[in-house]
Amino acid sequence: MAGGEGSEHFNFPTVWIKEGEIKVLVPKLEAFVEKPGDYAPSKAPVFYNPVMEMNRDFAVVTLQIFQRSIGRSLVVCEPLAGCGVRGIRFAVEVENVERVVLNDINPEAFKLMTFNVKENNLAGKIEVQSTDANLLLSLHAAPKKRFDYIDIDPFGSPVPYLDSSIRALKAGGLLALTSTDLAPLCGVHPQACIRKYGAKPLRTEYCHELALRILLGCLAREAAKYEIGIKPIFGYYADHYIRAYTRMLHGARKSDQALKKLGYIYHCHNCLHREVVSGLFSLKEKKCPICGRKMAAAGPLWTGELADENYCNELMDEVKKRKFKNKRRMLKILDLIIGEVNAPPTYFDVGEISDKFGFLTPSPRKVVEKLREEGFFAVLTHFRSTAFKTNAPSEHVIKIVKELAKA
């Protein structure tokens, strides 16, 4: 790698950074903050977000496990590549990546990506383009032009890129989606969620899980148009975004099986009772069986698994081998997700329960231990540090929280 100089090539302040095993030039973010509250990554001439390093770390190991599972070299695409950090890391840190296509419609991003690719001596392995993301993906929709892996990491919602991504993936390919669009997905702007995702959100303590399920439900419906089913292998929430990795399985039967995992989650805001109802067309008015109040509903959304346990165990082993800055945090997230794989949808938050019913807040770990002692399934969740998943009924959960609050 040439290294060292580079800033003179661009008409905005830049800085060299090291991430994973690569060194790249990125915008000097502090130069673009004019007033408190400015979000520097979106103000810079080329988008770059250092907070997403763990997102990129997870992408590297997930792609590596995927490559080993299919046993051949990969052709991958990042249609919204910004500085090219993620795609360059794929080329360097993932074994048997044959070719990477990096794209960004921003001409400044194209120049910066091209520079970074050359600096890392990857011009023969990485193709850099500057066109509309959906146009690029549509040009790769023919069977022999498709990608093994597509990574959609936009500033906002990935929904505008779902259709073209699905068509540009090979059968059995892996689609990675990021959404930072959490205000609509978490029910702060419900109409925006209905418009974008075709689903009704809810403002509840488990809204981040609902966000992930709404995104997967939207993807399942989009894929079904092309007789493609989805199989989520790894999904999580962190740092104000949700992330989903999903295998795309071709065939009418696969798409029908996926559609059977769509449904609704009903929630009682009065007593916190919640129910999962399967079926895309099962929405109806429902009264809470515990307190008789009218229940609110979220959906249609994905009611199935959010991750594959074997895949996550392999991810855990792979992360242990790497020298990531975020290694400890990644292992903790994976450990919690592995525990959650067989948990029912939704979770309870001890703080929310305590605030609602006027208790002191006990340790969520102690609540989990107590529920297990009584024979219930209970685990902590990665979605929120004060929350847990359980198959215990809501009235019993509240009773346990109240008892432990007094102890």
Q: What is the pLDDT of residues 211-223, one digit of tens each?
A: 999 999 999 999 9
- The SS3 call for residue 120 is coil
Structural domain contains residue 142: yes
**pLDDT score for 33:** 84
How far apart are the C-alpha atoms of 220 and 257, rounded to whole Å? 10
Q: Residues 296, 320: one domain? A: no
The yes-or-no verdict on residue 168 having pLDDT over 60 is yes
Band the pLDDT of 4: cuts 50, 70, 90. Answer: very low
- Identify whether residues 97 and 161 lie together within a single domain: yes
Q: Are residue 74 and residue 148 in the same domain, yes or no?
A: yes
For residues 18 and 127, membership in a common domain is answered with yes
What confidence tens digit (pLDDT) does each residue in 341-398 have? Answer: 999 999 999 999 999 999 999 999 999 999 999 999 999 999 999 999 999 999 999 9
pLDDT digits (tens, 9 = 90+) for 75-113: 999 999 999 999 999 999 999 999 999 999 999 999 999
Q: Where are the alpha helices (DSSP H) in 139-177?
A: 162-167
Q: Does 317 map to a domain?
A: yes
Is 1 a member of any domain?
A: no
CA-to-CA distance for 204 and 188, rounded, in angstroms? 10
Strands, E assignment, 70-205: 74-78, 97-103, 126-129, 147-152, 169-179
Domain that holds residue 85: 7-302
383 & 239 share domain: no
- What is the model's pLDDT at position 9? 75
My answer on whether 163 and 279 are in the same domain is yes
Looking at 302, 325, 354, which one is the last position of a domain? Answer: 302
Which residue, among 237, 92, 240, 243, has the nearest Cα to 175 in the 3D structure? 243
* Confidence at 35, pLDDT banded by 50, 70, 90: confident
Chain-wide mean pLDDT for the chain?
Answer: 95
CATH code, domain carrying 215: 3.40.50.150
Cα separation, 180 vs 241, whole angstroms: 4
Given a contact cutoff of 8 angstroms between Cβ atoms, the answer to whether 13 and 103 are in contact is no
Task: Give Cα 203 distance to the centre of its chain.
Answer: 19
**Which parts of 198-308 fold into alpha helices (H)?**
207-224, 252-259
DSSP-derived secondary structure for 282-308: -----B-TTT-PBPEEEEEEE-S-SS-
The answer on 340 and 210 residing in a single domain is no
Same domain, 192 and 141: yes
Percentage of residues in the chain with pLDDT exceeding 70? 98
Same domain, 143 and 218: yes
Does residue 28 form part of some domain?
yes
CATH number at residue 372: 3.30.56.70
Does 376 lie in the same domain as 288? no
d(CA 260, CA 76): 30
Position 215 in a domain: yes
Residues 291 and 318 in one domain: no
Domain boundary at 302, 326, 349, which?
302
Which of 14, 40, 187 lies closest to 109, judged by CA? 14
Give me the pLDDT at residue 6, please.
Answer: 56
Would residue 202 count as lying in a domain? yes
pLDDT tens-digit profile of 235-268?
999 999 999 999 999 999 999 999 999 999 999 9
The confidence score (pLDDT) of residue 8 equals 64
- Domain count within the chain: 2
Question: What's the pLDDT at 2?
Answer: 41
Q: Last residue of a domain, which of 268, 302, 336?
A: 302
State whether 23 and 73 are in the same domain: yes
Beta strands across the sheet bearing 296-302: 274-278, 262-267, 296-302
pTM of the full structure: 0.96
Query: Does 2 map to a domain?
Result: no
